[in-house]
Amino acid sequence: MIIDCAHYQDGRRTDERGMPLEEVAARRGEGGFVWLGLYEPDKAELDHVREVFGLHELAVEDALSEHMRPKIERYDGEVQLVILRTARYDDDAEEVEFGEISVFLSPSFVITVRQGVASELRGARQRLEQRPELLAFGSAAALWAILDQVVDGYGPVVTGLERDVDQIEATVFSGAATPTERIYSLRSEATDFYRAVHPLLPVIASVERLADKKLRHYLRDVQDHLLLADEEVAAQRDLLGTILEANMAVISVEQTRISIRQNSTIEQLTILATIFLPLTFVTGFFGQNFGWLVRNVDGPAEFVIYGIGGLVIPLVLLFTWLRRARRARGAAGPA
Protein backbone atom coordinates (compact mmCIF):
# COMPACT_ATOMS: atom_id res chain seq x y z
CA MET A 1 0.00 0.00 0.00
CA ILE A 2 1.34 3.44 -0.97
CA ILE A 3 1.44 5.74 2.07
CA ASP A 4 2.89 8.83 0.36
CA CYS A 5 4.53 9.66 -2.93
CA ALA A 6 6.14 13.07 -3.48
CA HIS A 7 8.78 14.90 -5.50
CA TYR A 8 11.33 17.18 -3.83
CA GLN A 9 13.49 19.79 -5.50
CA ASP A 10 15.62 22.66 -4.21
CA GLY A 11 14.80 21.81 -0.58
CA ARG A 12 11.04 21.80 -0.88
CA ARG A 13 8.14 19.57 -1.84
CA THR A 14 6.79 20.39 -5.29
CA ASP A 15 3.24 19.09 -4.65
CA GLU A 16 0.75 19.65 -1.87
CA ARG A 17 -0.62 16.11 -1.84
CA GLY A 18 0.55 12.72 -2.97
CA MET A 19 1.04 12.26 -6.72
CA PRO A 20 0.35 9.19 -8.86
CA LEU A 21 3.29 6.80 -9.02
CA GLU A 22 3.92 7.13 -12.78
CA GLU A 23 3.69 10.93 -12.67
CA VAL A 24 6.07 11.39 -9.79
CA ALA A 25 8.53 8.89 -11.30
CA ALA A 26 8.50 10.85 -14.56
CA ARG A 27 9.49 14.02 -12.71
CA ARG A 28 12.83 12.54 -11.71
CA GLY A 29 14.25 13.91 -14.93
CA GLU A 30 13.46 17.45 -13.76
CA GLY A 31 15.98 17.18 -10.94
CA GLY A 32 15.57 16.58 -7.24
CA PHE A 33 14.40 13.23 -5.99
CA VAL A 34 11.26 11.20 -5.41
CA TRP A 35 10.29 9.76 -2.02
CA LEU A 36 7.88 6.83 -2.23
CA GLY A 37 6.61 5.24 1.00
CA LEU A 38 5.08 1.75 0.99
CA TYR A 39 3.62 -0.26 3.86
CA GLU A 40 3.47 -4.07 3.59
CA PRO A 41 3.05 -4.16 -0.20
CA ASP A 42 2.40 -7.45 -1.94
CA LYS A 43 4.65 -8.88 -4.63
CA ALA A 44 2.52 -7.53 -7.47
CA GLU A 45 2.71 -3.98 -6.14
CA LEU A 46 6.46 -4.20 -5.65
CA ASP A 47 6.90 -5.62 -9.15
CA HIS A 48 5.06 -2.59 -10.50
CA VAL A 49 7.38 -0.28 -8.55
CA ARG A 50 10.36 -2.24 -9.86
CA GLU A 51 9.23 -1.69 -13.45
CA VAL A 52 8.62 2.03 -12.93
CA PHE A 53 11.91 2.75 -11.18
CA GLY A 54 14.05 0.08 -12.83
CA LEU A 55 15.00 -1.76 -9.66
CA HIS A 56 16.98 -4.98 -9.71
CA GLU A 57 14.77 -8.04 -9.22
CA LEU A 58 17.08 -9.44 -6.53
CA ALA A 59 16.80 -6.17 -4.59
CA VAL A 60 13.00 -6.41 -4.67
CA GLU A 61 13.16 -10.06 -3.61
CA ASP A 62 15.49 -9.07 -0.78
CA ALA A 63 13.05 -6.42 0.40
CA LEU A 64 10.29 -9.03 0.70
CA SER A 65 12.45 -11.37 2.77
CA GLU A 66 12.72 -11.24 6.54
CA HIS A 67 16.17 -10.35 7.86
CA MET A 68 17.64 -10.73 11.30
CA ARG A 69 20.35 -8.12 10.83
CA PRO A 70 20.60 -4.70 9.17
CA LYS A 71 22.77 -4.48 6.08
CA ILE A 72 23.60 -2.34 3.08
CA GLU A 73 24.09 -3.63 -0.48
CA ARG A 74 24.78 -1.97 -3.80
CA TYR A 75 23.03 -3.10 -6.98
CA ASP A 76 23.14 -1.97 -10.62
CA GLY A 77 24.06 1.65 -11.14
CA GLU A 78 23.91 3.86 -8.07
CA VAL A 79 21.04 2.05 -6.35
CA GLN A 80 21.67 0.91 -2.79
CA LEU A 81 19.47 -1.24 -0.59
CA VAL A 82 19.58 -0.48 3.14
CA ILE A 83 17.85 -2.92 5.49
CA LEU A 84 16.89 -1.59 8.93
CA ARG A 85 15.42 -3.47 11.88
CA THR A 86 12.85 -1.54 13.88
CA ALA A 87 11.79 -2.27 17.45
CA ARG A 88 8.89 -1.29 19.69
CA TYR A 89 8.33 -2.12 23.37
CA ASP A 90 4.82 -3.34 24.20
CA ASP A 91 4.06 -2.16 27.75
CA ASP A 92 0.99 -4.39 28.14
CA ALA A 93 2.70 -7.62 27.07
CA GLU A 94 6.11 -6.52 28.46
CA GLU A 95 7.92 -7.72 25.35
CA VAL A 96 9.74 -6.31 22.32
CA GLU A 97 8.17 -6.42 18.85
CA PHE A 98 10.32 -6.14 15.75
CA GLY A 99 9.74 -4.91 12.23
CA GLU A 100 11.75 -4.04 9.15
CA ILE A 101 12.29 -1.16 6.75
CA SER A 102 13.91 -1.64 3.35
CA VAL A 103 15.22 1.55 1.78
CA PHE A 104 16.03 1.74 -1.95
CA LEU A 105 18.34 4.72 -2.35
CA SER A 106 19.67 6.47 -5.42
CA PRO A 107 20.39 10.14 -6.22
CA SER A 108 16.97 10.45 -7.89
CA PHE A 109 14.66 8.48 -5.57
CA VAL A 110 14.10 6.99 -2.12
CA ILE A 111 11.70 4.07 -1.77
CA THR A 112 10.84 2.81 1.71
CA VAL A 113 9.15 -0.56 2.25
CA ARG A 114 7.89 -1.11 5.79
CA GLN A 115 7.08 -4.60 7.07
CA GLY A 116 5.56 -5.59 10.42
CA VAL A 117 5.99 -3.40 13.47
CA ALA A 118 7.89 -0.48 11.99
CA SER A 119 8.58 3.08 12.97
CA GLU A 120 6.12 5.62 11.63
CA LEU A 121 8.01 7.49 8.89
CA ARG A 122 5.44 10.24 8.42
CA GLY A 123 7.08 12.18 11.23
CA ALA A 124 10.50 11.80 9.64
CA ARG A 125 9.17 13.09 6.31
CA GLN A 126 7.44 16.07 7.91
CA ARG A 127 10.45 16.96 10.04
CA LEU A 128 12.69 16.88 6.99
CA GLU A 129 10.25 19.01 4.99
CA GLN A 130 10.58 21.64 7.71
CA ARG A 131 14.36 21.67 7.23
CA PRO A 132 14.90 22.87 3.64
CA GLU A 133 18.62 23.31 4.26
CA LEU A 134 18.87 19.56 4.90
CA LEU A 135 16.33 18.58 2.26
CA ALA A 136 18.55 20.32 -0.29
CA PHE A 137 21.13 17.54 0.18
CA GLY A 138 18.82 15.25 -1.78
CA SER A 139 17.98 11.60 -1.16
CA ALA A 140 20.81 11.21 1.36
CA ALA A 141 18.96 13.61 3.65
CA ALA A 142 15.87 11.40 3.45
CA LEU A 143 17.98 8.40 4.48
CA TRP A 144 19.33 10.41 7.42
CA ALA A 145 15.77 11.26 8.53
CA ILE A 146 14.78 7.57 8.33
CA LEU A 147 17.85 6.44 10.28
CA ASP A 148 17.26 9.11 12.91
CA GLN A 149 13.63 8.03 13.31
CA VAL A 150 14.54 4.35 13.66
CA VAL A 151 17.36 4.94 16.14
CA ASP A 152 15.21 7.27 18.24
CA GLY A 153 12.70 4.42 18.46
CA TYR A 154 15.34 2.26 20.15
CA GLY A 155 15.33 4.52 23.25
CA PRO A 156 11.94 3.39 24.67
CA VAL A 157 12.91 -0.24 24.02
CA VAL A 158 16.12 0.16 26.05
CA THR A 159 14.10 1.76 28.84
CA GLY A 160 11.46 -0.99 28.82
CA LEU A 161 14.06 -3.77 28.88
CA GLU A 162 15.97 -2.01 31.65
CA ARG A 163 12.80 -1.81 33.75
CA ASP A 164 12.14 -5.54 33.30
CA VAL A 165 15.75 -6.42 34.10
CA ASP A 166 15.68 -4.29 37.26
CA GLN A 167 12.50 -6.02 38.44
CA ILE A 168 13.94 -9.48 37.90
CA GLU A 169 17.26 -8.49 39.45
CA ALA A 170 15.54 -7.14 42.57
CA THR A 171 13.51 -10.33 42.92
CA VAL A 172 16.43 -12.71 42.46
CA PHE A 173 18.90 -10.90 44.69
CA SER A 174 16.29 -10.58 47.43
CA GLY A 175 16.52 -14.36 47.76
CA ALA A 176 13.29 -15.23 45.93
CA ALA A 177 13.35 -17.40 42.85
CA THR A 178 12.04 -16.04 39.53
CA PRO A 179 10.52 -18.30 36.84
CA THR A 180 13.46 -19.32 34.67
CA GLU A 181 11.30 -19.08 31.54
CA ARG A 182 10.86 -15.34 32.11
CA ILE A 183 14.61 -14.77 32.33
CA TYR A 184 15.25 -16.85 29.20
CA SER A 185 12.50 -14.96 27.34
CA LEU A 186 13.88 -11.58 28.37
CA ARG A 187 17.41 -12.59 27.44
CA SER A 188 16.16 -13.77 24.04
CA GLU A 189 14.48 -10.40 23.47
CA ALA A 190 17.67 -8.58 24.48
CA THR A 191 19.67 -10.76 22.07
CA ASP A 192 17.26 -10.08 19.19
CA PHE A 193 17.39 -6.38 19.98
CA TYR A 194 21.20 -6.50 20.01
CA ARG A 195 21.10 -8.10 16.55
CA ALA A 196 18.99 -5.16 15.37
CA VAL A 197 21.22 -2.50 16.92
CA HIS A 198 24.83 -3.66 16.66
CA PRO A 199 25.00 -4.50 12.90
CA LEU A 200 23.53 -1.06 12.15
CA LEU A 201 26.77 0.62 13.29
CA PRO A 202 28.79 -0.34 10.18
CA VAL A 203 25.78 0.50 7.99
CA ILE A 204 25.68 4.07 9.30
CA ALA A 205 29.47 4.30 9.02
CA SER A 206 29.24 3.28 5.35
CA VAL A 207 26.48 5.82 4.68
CA GLU A 208 28.49 8.52 6.44
CA ARG A 209 31.54 7.94 4.23
CA LEU A 210 29.47 8.53 1.09
CA ALA A 211 27.46 11.50 2.43
CA ASP A 212 28.06 15.17 1.91
CA LYS A 213 30.49 16.71 4.40
CA LYS A 214 27.82 18.91 6.02
CA LEU A 215 25.41 15.98 6.34
CA ARG A 216 28.04 13.84 8.11
CA HIS A 217 27.58 15.82 11.33
CA TYR A 218 23.95 14.75 11.49
CA LEU A 219 24.82 11.14 10.71
CA ARG A 220 27.43 11.17 13.48
CA ASP A 221 24.77 12.33 15.90
CA VAL A 222 22.63 9.34 14.89
CA GLN A 223 25.64 7.09 15.34
CA ASP A 224 26.25 8.46 18.85
CA HIS A 225 22.69 7.62 19.87
CA LEU A 226 23.08 4.18 18.31
CA LEU A 227 26.34 3.56 20.19
CA LEU A 228 24.62 4.40 23.45
CA ALA A 229 21.78 1.97 22.72
CA ASP A 230 24.31 -0.69 21.68
CA GLU A 231 26.25 -0.35 24.94
CA GLU A 232 23.04 -0.47 27.00
CA VAL A 233 21.66 -3.61 25.36
CA ALA A 234 25.06 -5.36 25.55
CA ALA A 235 25.20 -4.60 29.28
CA GLN A 236 21.64 -5.87 29.70
CA ARG A 237 22.51 -9.16 28.00
CA ASP A 238 25.51 -9.67 30.29
CA LEU A 239 23.48 -8.76 33.37
CA LEU A 240 20.72 -11.19 32.40
CA GLY A 241 23.34 -13.94 32.14
CA THR A 242 24.49 -13.15 35.68
CA ILE A 243 20.88 -13.01 36.91
CA LEU A 244 20.19 -16.40 35.33
CA GLU A 245 23.15 -17.94 37.19
CA ALA A 246 22.07 -16.29 40.45
CA ASN A 247 18.51 -17.52 39.96
CA MET A 248 19.75 -21.08 39.47
CA ALA A 249 21.72 -20.71 42.72
CA VAL A 250 18.60 -19.46 44.53
CA ILE A 251 16.61 -22.41 43.17
CA SER A 252 19.38 -24.78 44.29
CA VAL A 253 19.36 -23.29 47.82
CA GLU A 254 15.57 -23.56 47.97
CA GLN A 255 15.72 -27.17 46.85
CA THR A 256 18.34 -27.84 49.53
CA ARG A 257 16.07 -26.33 52.17
CA ILE A 258 13.18 -28.48 51.00
CA SER A 259 15.43 -31.55 51.09
CA ILE A 260 16.54 -30.70 54.64
CA ARG A 261 12.93 -30.31 55.77
CA GLN A 262 12.03 -33.61 54.13
CA ASN A 263 14.98 -35.36 55.78
CA SER A 264 13.97 -33.93 59.16
CA THR A 265 10.41 -35.16 58.68
CA ILE A 266 11.61 -38.59 57.62
CA GLU A 267 13.92 -38.72 60.64
CA GLN A 268 11.06 -37.91 63.00
CA LEU A 269 8.84 -40.52 61.38
CA THR A 270 11.66 -43.06 61.61
CA ILE A 271 12.15 -42.33 65.33
CA LEU A 272 8.41 -42.66 65.92
CA ALA A 273 8.30 -45.95 64.02
CA THR A 274 11.35 -47.20 65.94
CA ILE A 275 9.68 -46.35 69.26
CA PHE A 276 6.53 -48.21 68.36
CA LEU A 277 8.39 -51.26 67.03
CA PRO A 278 9.34 -52.73 70.45
CA LEU A 279 6.03 -51.60 71.90
CA THR A 280 4.19 -53.45 69.18
CA PHE A 281 6.36 -56.53 69.73
CA VAL A 282 5.82 -56.58 73.50
CA THR A 283 2.08 -55.97 73.35
CA GLY A 284 1.74 -58.51 70.57
CA PHE A 285 3.74 -61.10 72.51
CA PHE A 286 1.80 -60.73 75.70
CA GLY A 287 -1.45 -60.61 73.82
CA GLN A 288 -1.01 -64.22 72.71
CA ASN A 289 -3.19 -66.82 74.35
CA PHE A 290 -0.41 -69.13 75.66
CA GLY A 291 -1.10 -71.29 78.71
CA TRP A 292 2.01 -70.13 80.53
CA LEU A 293 0.95 -66.49 80.21
CA VAL A 294 -2.54 -67.31 81.39
CA ARG A 295 -1.24 -69.24 84.43
CA ASN A 296 1.60 -66.90 85.48
CA VAL A 297 0.36 -63.40 84.61
CA ASP A 298 -2.70 -63.39 86.80
CA GLY A 299 -2.05 -60.47 89.19
CA PRO A 300 -0.90 -56.84 89.41
CA ALA A 301 2.71 -57.71 90.29
CA GLU A 302 3.18 -59.97 87.32
CA PHE A 303 1.55 -57.36 85.05
CA VAL A 304 3.99 -54.66 86.25
CA ILE A 305 7.04 -56.92 85.92
CA TYR A 306 6.27 -58.52 82.60
CA GLY A 307 4.02 -55.92 80.98
CA ILE A 308 5.23 -52.47 82.05
CA GLY A 309 8.82 -53.66 82.48
CA GLY A 310 8.78 -55.19 79.05
CA LEU A 311 7.80 -51.77 77.64
CA VAL A 312 10.14 -49.57 79.70
CA ILE A 313 13.35 -51.54 79.14
CA PRO A 314 13.22 -51.33 75.29
CA LEU A 315 12.38 -47.62 75.48
CA VAL A 316 15.36 -46.91 77.76
CA LEU A 317 17.69 -48.86 75.51
CA LEU A 318 16.32 -47.04 72.40
CA PHE A 319 16.68 -43.62 74.07
CA THR A 320 20.28 -44.38 75.04
CA TRP A 321 21.13 -45.52 71.50
CA LEU A 322 19.59 -42.42 69.89
CA ARG A 323 21.51 -40.06 72.23
CA ARG A 324 24.81 -41.76 71.45
CA ALA A 325 24.10 -41.60 67.71
CA ARG A 326 23.27 -37.86 67.88
CA ARG A 327 26.44 -37.10 69.89
CA ALA A 328 28.51 -39.03 67.35
CA ARG A 329 27.05 -36.97 64.46
CA GLY A 330 27.67 -33.74 66.37
CA ALA A 331 31.29 -34.64 67.02
CA ALA A 332 31.91 -35.61 63.39
CA GLY A 333 30.21 -32.46 61.95
CA PRO A 334 32.81 -29.74 62.77
CA ALA A 335 35.73 -32.00 61.80
Tell me the domain boundaries of the chain: 2-251, 287-332
Size of the chain, expressed as the number of residues it contains: 335
Q: Residue 178's pLDDT is what?
A: 62
Tell me the pLDDT tens digit for each residue of 110-146: 999 998 876 778 888 888 888 888 888 889 999 999 9
Per-residue pLDDT tens for 151-185? Answer: 999 999 999 999 998 888 888 777 666 677 888 88
CA distance 226 to 272: 68
Task: Quote the CA–CA distance of 241 and 238 in Å, as a whole number.
Answer: 5
pLDDT tens digits for range 263-293:
778 877 777 777 677 667 666 766 666 666 6
Q: What is the pLDDT of residue 335?
A: 47
Order of strands, edge to edge, in the sheet holding 109-116? Answer: 12-13, 2-9, 33-39, 109-116, 95-106, 80-90, 71-74
The more confident residue out of 307 and 207 is 207
Tell me the pLDDT of the chain averaged across its residues. Answer: 83
pTM: 0.74
Whether residue 127 contacts residue 52, with contact meaning beta carbons closer than 8 Å, is answered with no
- Among 193, 199, 184, smallest CA distance to 160 is for 193
- pLDDT tens digits, residue range 193-247? 999 999 999 999 999 888 888 889 999 999 999 999 999 999 998 888 888 888 7
Percentage of the chain lying above the pLDDT 90 cut = 24
List of E strands, the chain = 2-9, 12-13, 33-39, 71-74, 80-90, 95-106, 109-116
The number of C-alpha atoms within 13 Å of 273 and in the hemisphere containing its C-beta is 6
Q: Which of these, 46, 35, 38, 36, lies nearest to 113 by C-alpha position?
A: 38
Percent of the chain with pLDDT over 70: 87
- Kindly report which listed range (26-30, 44-48, 71-75, 103-107) carries the lowest average pLDDT score: 26-30
> pLDDT confidence of 14, banded at 50, 70, 90?
confident
Q: What is the pLDDT of residue 229?
A: 94
CATH number of this structure's domain 2-251: 3.30.460.20
